[in-house]
Amino acid sequence: MRYGVVMIMMTGLSLCGLWGVGLPPRPPAARGLLLVANKGDHTLGIIDPDQGRQIATITETGVTAHEVAVSPDGRMAYAPIYGNAAVGAPGTDGRTMDVVDLASRRVVATVDFGRPVRPHCAVFGPKNGLLYISAELTNSIEAIDPRTNKIVASIPTGQPESHMLAITRDGKRAYTANVHAGTVSAVDLAARTVIAVIPISGETQRIALSRDDRWAFTADQTKPRLAVIDTRANKVETWIPLPTLAYGTAPTLDGKWLLVTLPDAGQVAVVDLDSLKVVRAVDVPKSPQEIVVRPDNQEAYVSCHESRKVAVINLKTWKAEKIIEAGPMADGLAWVPLR
């Protein structure tokens, strides 16, 4: 089936399957699907949020992708094949990335990094169209041209286990969470140099930027608190106390709130970014991991690792109003825009 036909079918599901005749369609930015990295069965799941179910899976070529990124046009997905181990633990060391055509729902290319690197987090540069991937074993960020699927740069982070990656909206800087080093690297992407290494704790996890790029947030894995990094000074400005250890973070698109997963509590904490304090918590299934905010800022999707589910949080009522069955060990998420 050709791409255009598939897109028409998908759009029909999104607009008609739930809303029905006579109801206004969602804003164009909200029409989409959700990808989830199902680590337990080595697949990428495709979820239709309107139907509230996983509608297809794509088998990966290796074991296994933890994260997934989608091209800005919604046509392709990129799944770095990490390996079968936890960060810093013994196991296989991935060296490839699957390139998935979402219309045909199949792997159409493989990027080989040329050596074992444990590729993990993939993020598109907002200005130059390059795809940046954290490479834990080589202390680097690998830059790939998606037009050719060729590596065009290897950018040092100066630290081991550079696990997660966030890029400023101007595309000039990247920030990596370096897990057992307990640091964050600030990297100049154009100059391909490390600007600063910011100490956090004995161990840190994941990273996100505020909508205005003023702050970077990363979770201390030794104490229930969140580091708030001033990106102008590249140092920790303050700490946000939390009820339990945190993991993933994501700002809402209006810049007002920061969503923080609390895996042990089965909750998502909501931080007021004016006061930098937790103001509420939303109950979700066990072991929440990653958060993606829908482009219209009406809902947030939360992968729940041990529960094989994705929770859908209404950002007005602050309740998980839908729970979607995903695959085993659901982890990384990405939004697929439908145009």
Q: Please write the tens of the pLDDT for every residue from 248-305.
A: 999 999 999 999 999 999 999 999 999 999 999 999 999 999 999 999 999 999 999 9
* Average pLDDT rounded to a whole number, residues 307-312: 97
Q: Residue 52: which CATH number? A: 2.130.10.10
What would the 3-class secondary structure string for 261-327 be? EECCCCEEEEEECCCCEEEEEEECCCCEEEEEECCCCCEEEEEEHHHCEEEEEECCCCEEEEEEECC
What per-residue confidence (pLDDT) applies to 26?
45
What per-residue confidence (pLDDT) applies to 316?
97
What per-residue confidence (pLDDT) applies to 166?
98
* Average pLDDT rounded to a whole number, residues 24-41: 79
Q: Is the pLDDT of residue 7 over 50?
A: no
What per-residue confidence (pLDDT) applies to 21?
34
Quickly state the pLDDT bin for 29 (edges 50, 70, 90).
low
- Integer Cα distance of 218 and 229 in angstroms: 8
What per-residue confidence (pLDDT) applies to 9?
34
What per-residue confidence (pLDDT) applies to 4?
38
The answer to whether residues 237 and 259 touch, using CB atoms and an 8 Å cutoff, is no
- Integer Cα distance of 69 and 80 in angstroms: 9
What per-residue confidence (pLDDT) applies to 30?
75
The answer to whether residues 223 and 212 touch, using CB atoms and an 8 Å cutoff, is no
Q: Please write the tens of the pLDDT for every residue from 128-174.
A: 999 999 999 999 999 999 999 999 999 999 999 999 999 999 999 99
Q: Please write the tens of the pLDDT for every residue from 315-335.
A: 999 999 999 999 999 999 999
What per-residue confidence (pLDDT) applies to 11?
34
What per-residue confidence (pLDDT) applies to 13?
33
* Average pLDDT rounded to a whole number, residues 118-135: 97
- pTM of this structure: 0.91
Q: How many domains does the chain have?
A: 1
What per-residue confidence (pLDDT) applies to 31?
87
Q: Please write the tens of the pLDDT for every residue from 67-113.
A: 999 999 999 999 999 999 999 999 999 999 999 999 999 999 999 99
What per-residue confidence (pLDDT) applies to 128?
96
Q: Is the pLDDT of residue 8 over 90?
A: no
Q: Please write the tens of the pLDDT for every residue from 171-221.
A: 999 999 999 999 999 999 999 999 999 999 999 999 999 999 999 999 999
DSSP state of 212: T
Any bridge partners for residue 98, and if so which?
79, 110
Quickly state the pLDDT bin for 20 (edges 50, 70, 90).
very low
- Integer Cα distance of 142 and 113 in angstroms: 8
What per-residue confidence (pLDDT) applies to 339?
76
Domain interval for residue 218? 3-337
The residue written with tokens 């992968």 in the block is 303
